[in-house]
Chain A
Amino acid sequence: MTADGGAAGFPLPSQIADVPGAEGWRSMYPYFTRFQPDDDERFWFYNSMHFPEPMPAFDTITAEVPYSAIGANTARVFVFPTTLGIEHRIVNGRVYITAIPVTDPDEIARRAAVFGERASYYYENWDALYEGWKARMRDLIAEIEGVTVPELPEFEDAAVVTQSRGVAQNHYVRENFHRCIDLFSKMWHHHTEMLMLGYGAYVVFFQFCKQAFPEITDQTVARMVAGIDVIMYRPDDELRKLARLAVDAGVDDLFTEGCAPDAVLAALAGRGEGGKRWLAALDAARDPWFNVSTGDGFYHHHRSWADDLTVPFAALPRYVAQVRDGTLAARPTEALRAERDRIAAEYRGLLGTDDEKAAFDQMLGLCRRVFPFVEDHKFYCEHWFTSQFFGKIRQFGALLARFGVLAEAEDVFQLHHTEIDQALADVMLAWAAGGPPLGAAHFRPLIAERKRMLAAMREWSPPPALGPVPEALNDPAVHMLWGVTQQTIESWLRPDSGEIRGCGASSGVVEGVARVLTDVNQIGEVRAGEILVCPVTAPSWAPVFGKIKAAVSDIGGSMSHAAIVAREYGMPAVVGTGDATKRIRTGQLVRVDGDRGTVRVIG
């Protein structure tokens, strides 16, 4: 019992103590991310799906910008009737969020009138709008790729004089840095432009299915909707092609379990025509298909395949072995499509009336219309664009390091983007004046301290939620995106039954040895036949699913990536467990029950 005599609940934001050794964490984050006294009266949950680690200062931009775009979309652009936007707060490095609902019926009605007109314009013109969206997104990607980071040489380029440009390149240090931030913001506006409506269509179909078939699982609803030719499968398909080529070109002996990418690439260069062919194919596949982050585009250290070949090279030996023994099958797209259509047709057939069947057809049709966007936008936004974005910021870091402000380029991510502005101004002034920048003394100790605090905060177990539990958490969108339901909240409230509970995302029961990954960069450690236990998975993890027996994640719902890929591979998966990575250790024998959504340590 708590002091006030209430039932067990979550701590209030004001009750969270600073992590020992990281008492200065507030200095890392902007004032508008801090919990306010009134925030104790609201329910917050830890967005560990997107932000499973403490936030480096720069990476808070992946909260600030998306929430700025999402809220604008729901509250102001499309005027969703029952919700404004999402507020976020940071405590001990972790991002907590809450939505601002609209509850006054008159206000809902007033908003609904606007929403109806605006939303139906998008739904009715969806396919054409999506084509336009892709063109705009490719333009944005081309723009971010084209941003240059001035080199600030001793003498300015003669063209500044001969073409009377008049503007020296230290000016462009700031302009181009701002350009990166501005493009990132635009990308996120486009990201949400169609996504909220896309989810809306899914939620409607989901609710209909749950009403007509109360026992239907979330994953079965998802299976009726899921696309077959999803762009996120493409990077994995490219790897399979490369595996086939390795065998064709007679260089397959280089791809062995645990092989180091650099060593393999060096060896290929010395393997004549075959090696050359393979390296050329690799280059062709890299752009754009290796622009997949090993995370979800929310942390600078989640590098892309293009940045770090460890992940693709971890998958290649197995694919190569499968090519050799003739078992590397292409994705059975026809069979998958037929099965998807069979499931939908059978549920349709079980509906009682022709009216219900007609409504089912409308909703499923709408879902399938919007789903190519829902499934593919991530590749354009979180992966392709964002990989380029972090790459550019890293280049600005290299500039700051070259001028001695930072010890190394990577340290740029320990600064908030407004602080980077100051550091760049310092360098611009120093280059102009001819003296040294003053930033080293200012930033280097601060960065060292921040790294220390991040390490300390990494050890903290954030409560899954804060504040008073709402009477009913009946927002299906929250369930779909975050796997958070009344039930998960209850299980968060009474942990430790020996059984780890989550959302059964892909059916089947299997036992095996656990491999707990807390950091995506450990992905190369996964061995065949293990059960993957991780905070959250991203699309670029797909190749590892070919090796494992089952997947367990802390965060995720039936539409989360781990769920989709696990179903694709037909392996059991339990997602949204809250804390499986903390309760399971690598090497333990675990039993994963994807039907019931439970995981148990059995040895």
Chain B
Amino acid sequence: MRPEPALVRRLTEVRAADRSAAGGKAAGLGELAAAGVPVPAGLVVTAEAFGAAMAALDPSGSIRARIERLPADAAAVARTAAEARAAVAAAPLPPTVADQVTAAYAELAGGQPVAVRSSATMEDSAQASFAGLQDSYLGVQGSHAVLGAVRGCWASLYNDESVSYRRRIGLPERDVAMAVVVQRMVSPRAAGVMFTRSPVTGDRSVVAIEATWGLGSALVAGVVTPDGFTVSKVTGEITGRKVGAKLRLHCLEPNGRGVADLETPAGLRDGPCLSDDEARELARLARRVEDHFGAPQDIEWALLGDIPGVTHGTGPAGRIVLLQTRPETAWAARGTAPAATPKPRASDHVLGLFGKAR
């Protein structure tokens, strides 16, 4: 007997197999939680909820039909997509969805601030192409604001670029859905991204970390030059260390609503925001995640604690939590020539090297 598809699920209940209902981000976070990796507590508003909302908003499917008929004309796409976004963002949620989200939010955060982030359900490489196009809302407080942010995430499915892409590949609009992750907001001392292979060289023996003060949104938005660390997975050595000019920092507004974009205090700008030990700890965690998924990962992380002189009393300092993981796609798609192939005799390798003209 199959239960009714849930509109809202706990993040800890979601697994990789639930991708079509919970989206890639939620599936990844659920897997992390199951593997014992710390992630902020959260819930997922599933694709079912999106489907219910769209059924209420667009019962005849006319909004989606109009999109499907769009020519590859940028101006036309912009106009129609904007209308669709406005409609989705403004329409009240069906009561069953609204009630369940409200109740789950109360249980999760009890009125405390949360992060509301899109979790796309599409399977192919579009996932990677859309990264960053779909909206996220940080510092969302109160059930009314949470419901608004959920609608905002759904509306971002109709961003111009997303719509253009779907039209280019001819994806039926009926198959398009969006889940939304709602997680307890963290207040990090530093945050950033890390790759379980070098983004520059593709080397799988290192973890490459980029880090900045406060929330990682400053890094994702590209308003800072992050600190960079390269850590060997095998020896734990830090083989690359670069301190960036972190002129801005993002942190949660003191009232918990929204994100403050501040000038970084002079003493912090040019100082590393991570210690070597913290970088190594991040790398260890990254390796665990990669091992769990069996493929190189692109991970968002946060290191909890106070930003010196900016935030204080924000929770358990020094704890690392992961905010997202997804398969690394750039190098996976590229493929590399083997560094060497076996030869009849081991010494033939030497003959090969010294026989080469420079």
B141 smallest CB distance to A (angstroms) = 42
Contact (Cβ within 8 A) A366 B237: no
Q: Which of B205, B241, B339, B355 has the most CB of A within 10 A?
A: B339
A212 to B356, CA, bound (A): 19
How far in angstroms is the closest Cβ of chain A from B115?
A: 33
Docked-complex contact B358 and A120, CB < 8 angstroms? no
Residues of A308-361 contacting chain B, CB below 8 A? 343, 346-347, 350-353, 355-356, 358-360
Residue contact B235 to A120, C-beta cutoff 8 Å: no
Q: A358-B342, A359-B339, A363-B340 known; A81 and B203 CB under 8 Å?
A: no
Q: Is A45 an interface residue (CB 8 A)?
A: no
User: Are B239 and A366 neighbours in the complex by a CB distance under 8 Å?
Assistant: no
A14 on the interface (CB 8 Å rule)? no
Bound CA–CA A595/B236 (angstroms)? 11
Q: Which residues of B contact A201 (CB under 8 A)?
A: 347, 350
Question: How extensive is the interface on chain B, given as a class?
Answer: 35 or more
Q: Name the residue of chain A whose CB is nearest to the CB of B236.
A: A507
A200 touches B350 (CB 8 A): yes
| Docked complex: B161-203 residues within 8 A CB-CB of A | 198, 201-203
Residue from B203, B336, B341 in contact with A216 in the complex, judged by beta carbons closer than 8 Å:
B203
- In the assembled complex, the CB of A352 is this many whole angstroms from the nearest CB of chain B, namely 7
Complex contact A204–B241 (CB within 8 A): no
The answer, among B237, B339, B350, for a CB contact under 8 Å with A119, is B350
- With both beta carbons as reference points, the residue of chain B lying nearest to A126 in the complex is identified as B347
Is the contact region of chain B dominated by helix, strand, or loop, or is it mixed? loop
Of all chain B residues, the one with the shortest Cβ separation from A105 is B357
Asked if residues A355 and B342 are in contact (CB atoms below 8 Å), the reply is yes
Cα A507 to Cα B205 in complex, Å, equals: 17
Interface segment, one of A57-65, A108-116, A230-238: A108-116
Q: Is B292 an interface residue (CB 8 A)?
A: no
- From known contacts A82-B354, A82-B358, A343-B234, infer whether A204 and B203 are also in contact, taking CB-CB under 8 Å: no
Q: A80-B354, A215-B203, A474-B358 known; A123 and B339 CB under 8 Å?
A: no
* A208 lies within 8 A of chain B by Cβ: yes
Closest to A120 in B: B347
Decide if A82 touches B356 in the complex (CB within 8 Å): yes
Find chain B residues with CB under 8 A from A223 CB: 235
How many residue pairs between the two chains, A and B, have CB atoms under 8 Å in the bound complex? 145
Q: What CA separation (Å) do A201 and B336 show in the bound complex? A: 24
Q: Which residues of A contact B240 (CB under 8 A)?
A: 215
CA distance A366 to B341 in the complex (A): 15
Residues of chain B within 8 A of A32, CB atoms compared: none
User: In the complex, are the beta carbons of A81 and B355 less than 8 A apart?
Assistant: yes
Contact (Cβ within 8 A) A217 B347: no
What residues of B have a CB within 8 angstroms of the CB of A124 in the complex?
345, 347
Complex: how many Å from CA A115 to CA B352?
Answer: 11
Q: Is the CB of A366 within 8 A of B338?
A: no
CB pair B343–A362 under 8 Å, yes or no, is yes
User: What are the residues of chain B within 8 A of A474 when measuring CB–CB?
Assistant: 358
Binding site for B on A (CB under 8 A): 80-82, 101, 103, 105, 108-109, 112, 115-116, 119-120, 123-124, 197, 200-201, 203-204, 207-208, 211-217, 220, 223, 343, 346-347, 350-353, 355-356, 358-360, 362-363, 365-366, 474-475, 507, 509, 595-596
- Name the 8 nearest CB pairs between A and B, nearest first: A123-B347, A112-B355, A214-B201, A212-B339, A359-B340, A358-B342, A362-B346, A211-B339
New contact pairs (9) apart from A208-B339, A359-B349, A365-B346, CB-CB < 8 Å = A115-B351, A119-B350, A123-B346, A217-B237, A350-B233, A359-B339, A362-B343, A507-B235, A595-B241
